[in-house]
Structure formats: C-alpha cells, structure tokens
C-alpha cells in the first residue's frame, strides 16, 4: 500500500517542503513582520480617520449652531 506511486510522490513532496521550511526560517519571519507592519499602519490610518471625522463633525455642529438654519426667507 505504501509503495503506491501517488503515496511515494506525496511523501517526497511533503519531505521537500518540510526541509525547505526548516532551512529557510527567515521567509516565515519576514511574512510575519510584514503582517505586523501592515496591521500597525492600518491601525494608525483608522485612528487618524476617526480623529478627522470627529473634528469635522465638531466643526460642523459649531457652524450649524453659529448660523442657525441658514437665515431662510421666513425669518
């Protein structure tokens, strides 16, 4: 059963991949570093977007309170 060509091929393929993973630890570390950097940048962008939105909404409310309803014809 273990001598079937597909099983021998699968075992060889997995062995090669495991050996490559053991001998090249920097590839995995590099991917993790990129994921961390991307998460930090995304978090900073989200924080800035929230801050800008809050500031715009605050100024919008201030403008609305200063100018009322816009001084339409019925005032």
pLDDT at 27: 60
Residue 42's pLDDT band, with cuts at 50, 70 and 90, is very high
pLDDT by residue (tens digit) across 60-70? 999 888 887 66
Task: Sketch the domain layout of the chain as residue ranges.
Answer: 5-69
CA-based radius of gyration for the chain: 30
Alpha-carbon 54 to chain mean position: 22
C-alpha 25/C-alpha 44 separation (Å) is 29
Give the whole-number percent of the chain exceeding pLDDT 90. Answer: 35
Q: Taking residues 47-54, report their average pLDDT.
A: 94
């Amino acid at each position: 059963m273990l001598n079937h060509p597909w099983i021998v091929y699968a075992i060889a393929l997995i062995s090669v991949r495991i050996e490559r993973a053991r001998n090249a630890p920097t590839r995995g570390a590099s991917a993790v570093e990129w994921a961390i950097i991307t998460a930090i940048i995304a978090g900073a962008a989200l924080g800035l977007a929230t801050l800008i939105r809050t500031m715009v909404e605050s100024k919008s409310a201030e403008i609305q309170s200063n100018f009322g309803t816009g001084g339409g014809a019925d005032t």
